[in-house]
Amino acid sequence: MRKLVLSLWSLVRGLWSLVRSPWSLVRGLWSLVLVVVLLLVGCQGPSQPKPTQPVSPLATPTSAAKPAPTIAPPVSPLATPTAAPGPVATVAPGARIAPEELALQQQAMISAAKGDIARLGNLDQYQISVTIDPQALTLTASERLTYTNRATVPLNELYFATFPNAPANGGKLRVSRATVDGQECPTSLEVSDTALKVPLAQPLAPGQTAVVTLDFVTEVPRDSQGGYAVISYSRGVLALASWYPILRVYEASGWHKDLAPPWGDQVFSETALYAVNITAPKSWVVVASGSVVGQKANADGTVTQSYRTGPMRDFYIIASEQFQKLSTQVGETTVNSYYLPDDKTYGEQTLQFAKDAFSTFSQRFGTYPFAEFDVVESATMAGGIEYPGLVIITDRYYKSTAQPGRLEFVVVHEVAHQWWYSLVGNDQVRHPWVDEALANYSVIVYFEAIRGKGYASGVLQQALRAPYEAAVRNGQDAVVDQPVAAFTPQNYGPIVYDKGALFFEALRQKVGDDVFFTILQEYFRQYQYKIADGPAFLRLAEQVSGQNLQVLYKEWIQSKK
């Protein structure tokens, strides 16, 4: 038995070394070792439970059945960038969200969370109209951002991320016209064309609001081989990550303009309200962050859907002519599984994994506040990637050739990111461990609840501890709390994901289960919709536990062997 286990583990390590960019697959490779877990634990997983009654291949989303407000026809080309997209009410500078817009945003929230929008105050507001042309692989759009300066100093310019321009992404985003408070202004690009500078005619004082409009076209690469292929058209699926200019974060040191290497996540953004009109051919199934609050058919054979998100920190779109859908319910949240036609069995499994993860994490961490969540099969080069309200899973894991357990591990890890990254935000570029390590450890919490502590212990040993110990033996140990750029593709996963997760296991062993989960619940409560970091978590953990945790934190997060 041990010889077989070691042989399997050697196979994993051998495969790892052959991958050109090894960590591009790390979100899924942890699960490869679950074969070993089955051998060590000595039990078979239960037969796959069936989800609720499947929905037939959809022509329109189920949410379209809601009463639809009037939606203004999309403008193509967008010649009037100051026009609000669809039913979005114009918001005057300095004003809070209009009542009619608030009601639409609340449709994206569960009952208990509808008050969060007003409680959060003057959130930034994105209003975007976008037309998708799947044949030309272009997005033609107009964006309006109502931004309030929450810094303590006046701002002379704003910076937006234009991530399609990143060399690893292979796309192109070009702004043809920009205005600030109705006045045209020049723009310029920095940092490999991924930081769009919008100068302000007058400094924007703390507490003041500006309205920025941007007309832009985004070109989508076909069969991108760069990075994770986050923005790409491949195998009939149009994946659109970071397709629009998103405001960068202003910190005490200035605007955050860092660009992560291809093996890391690229987006660091603050929570905002999104109102997005998406126009696409009616044969295409569009899935996006948030909820559909309105829909209309257009004379040219396209359909325009109006989305609202509630407070989210990004807006993702994925579309295909082939998507089919299964749905289930977890409390007031509808969980959807979108899959390609030949992969229904795995679409069913994915839905059940997501449902179980949602139930577990809502109980252990805190209630998910949004009315909808989507898991979508994609042609991504990663195992899975998280976005607010939506995660994508590689189509490689929807096949019988995928290693047992791989799909479940990745789905659960990405679902956990809805708590750690989407709701409790962090700087994924400079401090990636803050969300990745906790999302990885959350998988252990899931397996304890669904498969039992014995199974979870085996996963912890083989999927987390063994890869980290191998990295130590190979001289690749490193300090956990570092930027993505400080790691290599080879040690990024074992250190950030695995060693970081082992810190949470060590913390749990030190303070006990009751205190540990109280820490996580309080962390979620205090930092929901905000941005946290490692020191903030440490302070809170010490406050809740009443213990000095400095030595433990330094050992796991700030030191290397």
Indicate whether 296 pLDDT > 50. Answer: yes
Residue 520 included in any domain: yes
* Reported pTM: 0.84
Q: Do residues 134 and 213 both lie within one domain?
A: yes
The model's confidence at residue 227, banded by pLDDT at 50, 70 and 90, is confident
- Residue 125 near residue 273 (C-beta atoms within 8 A): yes
Final residue before a domain boundary, out of 297, 322, 347: 322
Q: Do residues 20 and 133 both lie within one domain?
A: no
**Which residue did the predictor score with more confidence, 205 or 38?**
205
Pairing of strands 195-204, 188-190: antiparallel
Terminal Cα distance for the chain, rounded: 31
Residue 522 included in any domain: yes
- The strand pairing partners of 505, in sequence order, are none
CATH number of the domain at 192, please: 2.60.40.1730
Indicate whether 450 pLDDT > 60. Answer: yes
pLDDT, one tens digit per residue, over 70-80 is 233 333 322 22
Helix (H) or strand (E) holding 103, with range, is helix 99-106
pLDDT, one tens digit per residue, over 394-431 is 999 999 887 779 999 999 999 999 999 999 999 999 99
Rounded to 5 degrees, φ, ψ at 554 are: -65, -40
What pLDDT, on a 0 to 100 scale, did the predictor assign at position 404?
77
Closest CA to 429 of 264, 227, 314: 264
Q: What is the mean pLDDT of residues 51-70?
A: 30
What pLDDT, on a 0 to 100 scale, did the predictor assign at position 14?
37
The model's confidence at residue 12, banded by pLDDT at 50, 70 and 90, is very low
Q: Do residues 97 and 195 both lie within one domain?
A: yes
Report the chain's mean pLDDT, rounded to a whole number.
86
Residue 109 CA to chain centroid, in angstroms?
Answer: 18
Structure tokens, 102 = 């608030």
What pLDDT, on a 0 to 100 scale, did the predictor assign at position 158?
99
- Residue 260 near residue 430 (C-beta atoms within 8 A): no
- In Å, how far are 12, 109, 366, 368, 419 from 105, measured between CA atoms? 46, 8, 21, 16, 20
The model's confidence at residue 191, banded by pLDDT at 50, 70 and 90, is very high
Q: What is the mean pLDDT of residues 140-159?
A: 98
- In Å, how far are 15, 35, 36, 216 from 7, measured between CA atoms? 12, 12, 10, 53
Q: What is the mean pLDDT of residues 217-237?
A: 89
pLDDT, one tens digit per residue, over 505-551 is 999 999 999 999 999 999 999 999 999 999 999 999 999 999 999 99
State the SS3 of 429-485. Answer: CCCCHHHHHHHHHHHHHHHHHHCCHHHHHHHHHHHHHHHHHHHHHCCCCCCCCCCHH
Alpha-carbon dihedral 330, 110, 436, 189, rounded to 10 degrees: 140
What pLDDT, on a 0 to 100 scale, did the predictor assign at position 70?
29
pLDDT, one tens digit per residue, over 115-135 is 999 999 889 999 999 999 999
What pLDDT, on a 0 to 100 scale, did the predictor assign at position 127?
98
Indicate whether 7 pLDDT > 90. Answer: no
Q: What is the mean pLDDT of residues 480-492?
A: 96
Residue 380 included in any domain: no
**Which residues neighbour 153 within 8 Å (Cβ) at sequence distance 6 or greater?**
206
- The strand pairing partners of 160, in sequence order, are 196, 247
Instruction: Provide the residue range defining the domain that includes 180.
Output: 62-322
Indicate whether 59 pLDDT > 50. Answer: no
The model's confidence at residue 561, banded by pLDDT at 50, 70 and 90, is confident
Residue 388 included in any domain: no
- The strand pairing partners of 139, in sequence order, are 132, 218
Alpha-carbon dihedral 379, 383, 387, 388, rounded to 10 degrees: 120
Q: Do residues 435 and 503 both lie within one domain?
A: yes
What pLDDT, on a 0 to 100 scale, did the predictor assign at position 156?
98
Residue 259 included in any domain: yes
Domain count along the chain: 2
Helix (H) or strand (E) holding 504, with range, is helix 500-511
What pLDDT, on a 0 to 100 scale, did the predictor assign at position 35?
37
Residue-by-residue DSSP string for 325-380: EEEEEETTEEEEEEE-GGGHHHHHHHHHHHHHHHHHHHHHT----BSEEEEEEE--
The model's confidence at residue 225, banded by pLDDT at 50, 70 and 90, is low
pLDDT, one tens digit per residue, over 97-107 is 899 999 999 99
Q: How far apart are CA 119 and CA 368, in angstroms?
A: 17
Residue 376 included in any domain: no
What pLDDT, on a 0 to 100 scale, did the predictor assign at position 226?
67
Q: Do residues 405 and 542 both lie within one domain?
A: yes
Q: Do residues 21 and 78 both lie within one domain?
A: no
DSSP 62: G
Indicate whether 4 pLDDT > 80. Answer: no
Residue 478 included in any domain: yes
Pairing of strands 372-378, 390-394: parallel
Q: Do residues 138 and 46 both lie within one domain?
A: no
- The strand pairing partners of 275, in sequence order, are 127, 308
Closest CA to 318 of 335, 301, 338, 292: 338
Long-range contacts formed by 249-254: CB under 8 A, 24+ apart: 249/427, 249/531, 250/150, 250/151, 250/155
pLDDT, one tens digit per residue, over 499-510 is 999 999 999 999
Q: Do residues 46 and 78 both lie within one domain?
A: no
Final residue before a domain boundary, out of 296, 322, 348: 322
Q: Do residues 40 and 97 both lie within one domain?
A: no
Final residue before a domain boundary, out of 305, 322, 339: 322
- The strand pairing partners of 393, in sequence order, are 377, 384
CATH number of the domain at 38, please: 1.10.390.10
Q: Do residues 88 and 42 both lie within one domain?
A: no
* Strand ranges, E, within 101-184: 124-133, 138-148, 155-161, 172-180, 183-184
The model's confidence at residue 41, banded by pLDDT at 50, 70 and 90, is very low
- The strand pairing partners of 334, in sequence order, are 329, 372
**Which residues neighbour 492 within 8 Å (Cβ) at sequence distance 6 or greater?**
23, 26, 263, 264, 484
The model's confidence at residue 325, banded by pLDDT at 50, 70 and 90, is very high
Q: Do residues 16 and 94 both lie within one domain?
A: no
Residue 57 included in any domain: no
Structure tokens, 363 = 């109980």
Q: Do residues 500 and 547 both lie within one domain?
A: yes
